[in-house]
Structure 1
Amino acid sequence: MTALLESTDESVVVGGILASIRWRRSARARRIALKIDPQLGAVVITLPPKGSRRAGLALLRGHETWVAERLAALPAPMMIAPGGTIPVSGTSHLIVIDPQHRGAAVIADSQIRLSGQPEFVARRVRDALQSLASEKFRLSAAAKASLIPAALRRVRVKDTTSRWGSCTADGSLMFSWRLVMAPDFVQDYVIAHEVAHLRHMNHAPAFWALTDRLTPHRAAATAWLHAYGAGLLRVG
């Protein structure tokens, strides 16, 4: 993880539009880095300990056209609110407040049904989606790992912005909970990809051959994520 020393925000005109800039100073950074964070809808500039804001702005200006185009291409935010809809496994689900409902939010019949005050809806819906993702991904990963076979230590879900999944050397898999909003064939591919890393911690031909043994959806899923993945990061 990046060791952050500080983080500040400001607004800067980039390519004729007002952009949100998040400045981060990292003890581990060796050079200035610039990226678009689709979840924040902002430009993130990371500075090394002695890097200056002036140098960061110079990098931004040097890539101004690219930054402006990427920001303009971001999907509109999708708010989690009563009466709104969000996808679950690629199918639109209506968020319904039911005063008679008790317990955690329930995801069924193209609805997410829950009770409580409107200001708590977003958190409770996210909790329900994370719980669904954790259970669904764990079962799918375990089933695929048993086919290889490979030792699967544990499966976790987090709210990541840079990757949909990852695999560690100790056999632990991590997935973005937001993946549960994507169609099932996309989930199947990402899980297969990470399970294949339990045998091959690289992207050599043997890794891709194993991935293709575990899922038939590689081409379709990668195309879907390229076209629509950023939209999942805008839900919240």
Structure 2
Amino acid sequence: MLWKSSLPESLEIDGRRLTLKVRRDIRARRLILRVDPADGGVALTIPKGTSNRTAIDFLERHEGWIAERLHKLPPLTPFTHGAAIPILGDLHRIEHRPDARGGVWREEQVVFVTGKPEHLQRRLTDYLKGEARKVCRTRSEALAGKIGEKVTRVTVRDTRSRWGSCSTSGALSFSWRLIMAPEAVLDYVIAHEVAHLRHHDHSPSFWRLVSELVPDHQTQRRWLKREGSLLWRFG
């Protein structure tokens, strides 16, 4: 696969050309390899002091692992007329109505999108981001009030490294793609970040608080680990 002493910009695995994203991290303790579920690219984290030759050998040894991960990725589902996407875990069929007005709305298990075909992807994405922002803000504030804490701000982003985050100032951030996860999973991630308003660590006290907020949080954590990559295959 590789023969040069410098790291390549792409890899060829099972006849597929994959982008290689390399990040050198002084905090990393070991080489870390990840397949990006959004585009199928490969990300390699290299700790300080690790040579390119060592990194290349690591990649070569893990060709089979990369191929297996690619094989397990669910198929891509673009936002197009007739496609089915989950919203809070329930499948909705996309219905494009180019001549209608009203932007984007839902009725039962259908999500309607108006406007030109070339704007469908952006319009539906913006709608889902807005829904995610609204749900995450409302539920975060409610849970924070329940434990006597306060949320200063809620934002949604298209993060791939984490589902949510909490700053020391009380600002919470979530992946907007959680709006497509089952509702219980979304509630767990919200509870996880709200618990960080009180405990800025993953201590036993933190997990006790998470358990109080979401008693079955282990089930939701397992879903994210097993099925979470599916959320990046939509859109």
Unaligned 5+ segments in structure 1 are 1-7
Aligned pairs for 1:1-236 (under 5 A) are 9-13=9-13, 16-24=14-22, 33-46=32-45, 55-236=54-235
Deviates more, 1:78-87 or 1:138-147: 78-87
Query: Scaled by the length of structure 2, what TM-score is found?
Result: 0.86
Q: Is the contact between residue 101 and residue 113 of structure 1 (CA under 8 Å) also seen in structure 2? A: no
Q: Give the count of matched residue pairs.
A: 227
Q: Residues 40 and 52 of structure 1: is their aligned pair in 2 closer, same or farther, counting only changes over 3 Å?
A: farther
Deviations 1:1-31 (A, max 9, x none): xxxxxxx853413xx4524122345687878
Q: Is the contact between residue 78 and residue 234 of structure 1 (CA under 8 Å) also seen in structure 2? A: yes
Q: Name the SS for the 1:45 alignment partner.
A: strand
Q: CA deviation at 1:220?
A: 2.0
Separation in structure 2 between the aligned mates of residue 51 and residue 116 of structure 1, nearest angstrom: 52
Deviations 1:187-216 (A, max 9, x none): 111100110010001111111111111123
Q: CA deviation at 1:63?
A: 2.0
Q: Is the contact between residue 25 and residue 49 of structure 1 (CA under 8 Å) also seen in structure 2? A: no
Q: Residues 234 and 145 of structure 1: is their aligned pair in 2 closer, same or farther, counting only changes over 3 Å?
A: same
Deviations 1:114-145 (A, max 9, x none): 21222221111110000000001100000000
The AA in structure 2 aligned to 1:152 is: V
Separation in structure 1 between the aligned mates of residue 27 and residue 209 of structure 2, nearest angstrom: 35
The AA in structure 2 aligned to 1:136 is: V
The AA in structure 1 aligned to 2:129 is: Q
Q: Residues 12 and 56 of structure 1: is their aligned pair in 2 closer, same or farther, counting only changes over 3 Å?
A: farther
Q: Is the contact between residue 166 and residue 175 of structure 1 (CA under 8 Å) also seen in structure 2? A: yes
Q: Name the SS for the 1:210 alignment partner.
A: helix
Counterpart position of 2:5: none
Deviations 1:18-65 (A, max 9, x none): 241223456878786532111121112356899876554322112222
Cα root mean square deviation, aligned: 2.4
Query: Scaled by the length of structure 1, what TM-score is found?
Result: 0.86
Q: Name the SS for the 1:95 alignment partner.
A: strand
The AA in structure 2 aligned to 1:125 is: L
Separation in structure 1 between the aligned mates of residue 9 and residue 123 of structure 2, nearest angstrom: 28
Unaligned 5+ segments in structure 2 are 1-7
The AA in structure 2 aligned to 1:161 is: R
Q: Is the contact between residue 101 and residue 115 of structure 2 (CA under 8 Å) also seen in structure 1? A: no
The AA in structure 1 aligned to 2:20 is: R
